[in-house]
Amino acid sequence: MHTELAAVLKTFTPITLAEMEGVELMDRTDTKYIFNISQLPGVLENLSQYYKLLNVNGVNENKYKTLYFDTPDFQLYMDHHNGRTNRYKVRYRQYVDSGLVFFEIKNKNNKERTIKSRIKRTNIADTIEGQSIGLGQIDQITLLFNPNSANSDTYYFDEITGPPLVSDKTTAASLAK
């Protein structure tokens, strides 16, 4: 099978990492298909006229290492497993052949969009560094909404204490004094 796959992959037009910079992969729609592994060479052969294949340093079969983070009760995994439409992945991903490493947060929203934010790192760390804060240390939450959009997104905030929530700049300014 591997020899057959390698032959099919050679039929794809290559694309380099530099060329990939212009490809919109940070905000995309993902479509996944299930089929028997024996069908893979034929599927790829049919796709080769429509897609390019990433080539990194002469390598078409690129490897990556990933470290996922989750809550102690595996809530992020369970959201995915249970088909929740607004869910997250938090991970480090190392693209082995290029040496690139990113810390990534992916959001799959209820509009079937996958939105990825990432920052370049030097290596995969086994912890997420930074200061952890408790609820009592939060003194301000800012929500930004596009007033011209009508969506069905729902935001939940539990146990928020502090001044009353405000909805206009005049009230907000008077509370800030």
Q: Is residue 6 part of a domain?
A: yes
* Count of other CB atoms within 10 angstroms of residue 79: 18
Q: Is residue 159 part of a domain?
A: no
Token pair belonging to 61: 């079969």
Q: Structural domain of residue 20, as residue ranges?
A: 1-62
With a cut of 60, say whether residue 35 has pLDDT above it: yes
Give the span between the Cα atoms of 124 and 77, in whole angstroms.
Answer: 20
Q: Is residue 121 part of a domain?
A: no
Residue 105 contacts residue 88 (beta carbons within 8 Å)? yes
What's the structural domain count of the chain?
Answer: 1
Q: Collapsing DSSP states into helix, strand and coil, what is residue 117?
A: strand
Q: How many residues does the chain have?
A: 177
Q: Each residue of 39-52: pLDDT tens digit?
A: 989 999 998 998 88
User: In the predicted model, what is the mean pLDDT of the chain?
Assistant: 74
176 vs 64, which has greater pLDDT? 64
Q: Is residue 35 part of a domain?
A: yes
With a cut of 70, say whether residue 67 has pLDDT above it: yes
Q: Is residue 133 part of a domain?
A: no
Q: Is residue 45 part of a domain?
A: yes
Q: Is residue 98 part of a domain?
A: no
Q: Is residue 56 part of a domain?
A: yes
Question: How are beta strands 114-121 and 100-108 bridged, if at all?
Answer: antiparallel
Q: Collapsing DSSP states into helix, strand and coil, what is residue 176?
A: helix
84 vs 150, which has greater pLDDT? 84
**Nearest to residue 71, comparing CAs of 112, 119, 128, 116?**
128
Q: Given the structure tokens 């897609």, which residue do they identify?
A: 51
> What amino acid occupies position 171?
T
Give the span between the Cα atoms of 127 and 170, in whole angstroms.
Answer: 42
20 vs 156, which has greater pLDDT? 20
